[in-house]
């Protein structure tokens, strides 16, 4: 009877151990697959996760280090099928997580490391509830395996302390003004494709070259479109003959202003030798409200040349 009872218990144990595990089977420890033959990790599971944050108490603006270590029994779990989802709001990672993998026999540990910082107003201790410290509780990290099983790793709470000293608190109470300060990590030295000094001189040289081109172009344009005026001294003949030539030209082109100036010039040339009636006629015609006729201009020119000769 004892031998038969022992054989029955062994058979029942073997049948339970050989039962297949499916996603619809009872899930232990937040959804991880239970191991069928036992594991040295413990709790009958092939996966364990440990979450830590240091320092757990820090000043506003300090950098935190969050680490998530996942230990897997590679006999039952493929570490490549693990996927970690984390949220640290209102803190934000300042860089991509660093991943380190360590293998020891059939066990592998994957360690994820994040550097966190919060410089937002939401991370400043303020009342309510308290303007000296504030405690944050992050959402648990979710470890997924093969898109079928999920379990959580819980982060410890983080306490942020205000950087306001007693002296600064007294200053705020007196002046009702806050001086925001925080220490920022050193910024990396900038790199340039072209040095700023060289770029400055290159831009200056280019500006000077373009300015010179603009001046030359403007000068050529002015010389091309400016009105060409005939100088009395460039005309052939005596000064009186040149003045009379300008007078005829002004009368033919209908330039009343030039015609009056030409009469004044003729009067000046005639009056330089002697003041006579012809000189007075030239001045009267220069300021006459009427425009002289063609015959009158020609008769005046002929008479002036005859008397001047």
Residue 69 pLDDT > 80, yes or no?
A: yes
Domain-wise residue ranges, the chain: 24-175, 232-308
Most confident among 26-35, 81-90, 120-129 (mean pLDDT): 81-90
Residue 215 pLDDT > 90, yes or no?
A: yes
pTM: 0.45
Residue 41's pLDDT band (boundaries 50, 70, 90)? low
Higher pLDDT, 155 or 128: 155
Cβ of 299: how many Cβ atoms within 10 Å?
12
Q: Which residues contact 59 (CB under 8 A, 6 or more apart)?
A: 160, 161, 162, 163
Task: Determine the average pLDDT of the residues in 190-205.
Answer: 88
How is residue 100 written in tokens?
A: 């380190």
Strands 57-59 and 158-161 come out as parallel
Residue 229 pLDDT > 80, yes or no?
A: no
Task: Determine the average pLDDT of the residues in 8-36.
Answer: 36
44, 28 Cβ separation under 8 angstroms: yes
Q: Which residues contact 172 (CB under 8 A, 6 or more apart)?
A: 164, 178
Task: Determine the average pLDDT of the residues in 163-171.
Answer: 75
Task: Determine the average pLDDT of the residues in 247-258.
Answer: 83
CATH classification for the domain delimited by 24-175, as one of 2.60.40.10, 2.40.30.10, 2.130.10.10, 1.20.1250.20? 2.60.40.10
| Percent share of the chain, pLDDT over 70 | 76
Q: What pLDDT sits at residue 187? A: 73
| Percent share of the chain, pLDDT over 90 | 25
Mean pLDDT of the chain, nearest integer: 77
User: Which run of H or of E encompasses 223?
Assistant: helix 196-225
């Amino acid at each position: 009877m004892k031998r038969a009872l022992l054989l029955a218990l062994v058979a029942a144990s073997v049948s339970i151990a050989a039962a297949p595990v499916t996603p619809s089977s009872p899930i232990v420890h937040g959804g991880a697959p239970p191991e069928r033959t036992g594991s040295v990790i413990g709790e009958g599971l092939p996966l364990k996760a440990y979450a830590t944050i240091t320092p757990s108490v820090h000043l506003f603006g300090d950098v935190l280090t969050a680490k998530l270590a996942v230990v897997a029994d590679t006999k039952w779990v493929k570490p490549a099928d693990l996927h970690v989802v984390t949220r640290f709001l209102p803190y934000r990672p300042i860089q991509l997580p660093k991943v380190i993998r360590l293998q020891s026999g059939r066990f592998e540990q994957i360690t994820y490391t994040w550097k966190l910082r919060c410089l937002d107003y939401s991370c400043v201790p303020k009342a309510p509830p308290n303007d000296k410290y504030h405690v944050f509780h992050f959402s648990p990290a979710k470890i997924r395996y093969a898109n079928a099983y999920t379990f959580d790793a819980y982060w410890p709470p983080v306490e942020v302390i205000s950087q306001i000293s007693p002296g600064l608190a007294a200053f705020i109470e007196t002046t009702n003004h806050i001086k925001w300060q925080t220490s920022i990590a050193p910024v990396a030295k900038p790199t340039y494709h072209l040095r700023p000094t060289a770029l400055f001189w290159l831009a200056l040289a280019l500006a000077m070259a373009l300015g010179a081109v603009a001046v030359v172009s403007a000068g050529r344009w002015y010389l091309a479109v400016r009105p060409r005026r005939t100088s009395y001294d460039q005309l052939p003949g005596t000064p009186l003959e040149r003045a009379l030539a300008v007078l005829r030209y002004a009368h033919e082109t209908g330039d009343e202003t030039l015609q009056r100036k030409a009469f004044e010039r003729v009067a000046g040339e005639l009056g330089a030798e002697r003041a006579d009636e012809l000189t007075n006629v030239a001045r009267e015609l220069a300021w006459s409200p009427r425009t002289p006729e063609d015959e009158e201009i020609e008769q005046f020119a002929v008479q002036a040349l005859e008397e001047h000769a």
